[in-house]
Structure 1
Amino acid sequence: MRHLWSFLAGLVVAPITWMLVTLGQDGSGRTVNRWVEIGTYSTPNLIEPAVYLGVAGILLGLLGTLRVSPFGPLVAGLLLIIPYVGMFIAPFTVLDRIPEGWKVLGDPLPLRQPVQNGTLFLIGLLLLMAVFSTQRWRGRPEPTTGAELTPAENPFTLSDWPASTGRTEQDTTPSSLGYPENTTEPLPRRSGTESPWSAPPRHGAQSDSTTGTTDNR
């Protein structure tokens, strides 16, 4: 489907580019010649022809650089080259077949001018060179994810990382934020009759639970 759309785009861009280049070249040439005749200039007079040439350049750039089917640049390039190539075979026949006397928005449209000065031949060759790009024939690459990569494409896998760096699984275990591990046994729980404020008996002293007295031996 992309080949069909690119083919149609080439058929449309070629004549539009021919017209825009003609308007830009003729407008720029007449403006500069007028400046030379009167000995002064006014740069806003070049805005209109510059817009024509700029739009033509954008269309040619999109057709020649985007990664679409190469049929578009191929068709447009051939259509722009054929008139100039025909000048080598039958120049008067070619010139007679090119319409003359057209106008666009009141401006004259001399379509023979870009053929005679070779501009169409130059643009056509540039478009044909874009056809030789191998990436245009392959189309857009499919997006790949990390899970689809083979070991050869992704050698640094998680399972091979400790072995490749000389570290063991124990070394890769996350630390406990710097706190030491609790290896001591819990203290014995106090009985219900024992006061929390009573001090433990000294060594050699025996406590009598009935009398509350301490026998020091």
Structure 2
Amino acid sequence: MRHVWTMITAIVVAPLAWLLLAYGQDRTLQAFANEESTGALATGAFVWPAVCLAAAGLLLGLIATLRVSPLGAVLTGLAYTASYLALLVDPDAVLGLFPKSLSLAGRSVDPTMPLRTGGALLLGALLLIGIASVGRWRRWPTPAVAEAEPDIEVTQPEDRPLGVDGLGFAAEPTPASTASLARAFDRAGRP
């Protein structure tokens, strides 16, 4: 079922991202063309193209980074890449598959713009390469389960001082403790 939902997402997102990409690229090229006639670039001319290109990138990034199923990224990547590579066989037939212009929000859009600029091949290849990334196939980290340890009750006096004094070691060895240590070494057979 996860493959079906990813495929449905790709069927909706891929054409929408294509149109947003076409609109953003077309308006960007028009802003640069207007600069030649007016002599200056208008900063306001890049606002909507930037929004559309960012939205297209976010939508394609959504498909590319889904950890549920790679099917959507495969389908979108293959469609984008194949549409551009088909230009190598018969460019006129490929461009003839697209309408001459579409109207979005009262503005005409050239839907062949991702093919004309090469953006379709670039994004298609990125989607296909994203499938091969190692991080995509890693499982989500699971919390480590603590091994069951035997219940050992440790009691410590509350008034134990901190530092060496609290460990119960004397500052200097007493003759009695030195003699008992020597006897322990002798029993073990060590010099």
Q: Confirm or deny a common fold (TM above 0.5).
A: yes
**Cα deviation code 1:168-197 (max 9, x no counterpart):** x89x53223249xxxxxxxxxxxxxxxxxx
**Cα deviation code 1:137-179 (max 9, x no counterpart):** 56x53733423x5xxxxxxx866xxxxxxxxx89x53223249
Q: Which residue pairs with 1:32 in the alignment? A: 32
**Number of corresponding residues:** 161
2:83 is the counterpart of 1:79: no
Q: 1:178–1:101: structure 2 CA closer, same or farther, 3 Å change rule?
A: closer
> Greater RCO between the two (CA within 8 Å, min separation 6)?
2
Cα distance between partner residues in 2 of 1:87 and 1:44: 34
Q: Which residue pairs with 2:173 in the alignment? A: none
**Structure 1 stretch 122-131 or stretch 77-86: which is displaced more?**
77-86
* SS of match in other structure, 1:12: helix
* SS of match in other structure, 1:111: coil
Q: Which residue pairs with 1:98 in the alignment? A: 98
2:155 is the counterpart of 1:173: yes
CA radius of gyration, larger in: 1
Cα distance between partner residues in 1 of 2:160 and 2:127: 66
Q: 1:4–1:136: structure 2 CA closer, same or farther, 3 Å change rule?
A: farther
Query: Identity of paired residues, percent?
Result: 34
Q: 1:42–1:116: structure 2 CA closer, same or farther, 3 Å change rule?
A: closer
The unaligned stretches of length 5 or more in structure 2 are 162-191
Aligned CA-pair RMSD: 2.6
Checking the alignment, whether the CA contact within 8 Å between 1:67 and 1:135 is kept in structure 2 is no
**Structure 1 stretch 116-125 or stretch 34-43: which is displaced more?**
34-43
The unaligned stretches of length 5 or more in structure 1 are 150-156, 160-168, 180-217
Cα distance between partner residues in 1 of 2:127 and 2:74: 7
Q: Which residue pairs with 1:119 in the alignment? A: 119
Shift of 1:63: 1.5
Give the counterpart letter for 1:19 in structure 2: L
TM-score calculated relative to the size of structure 1:
0.66
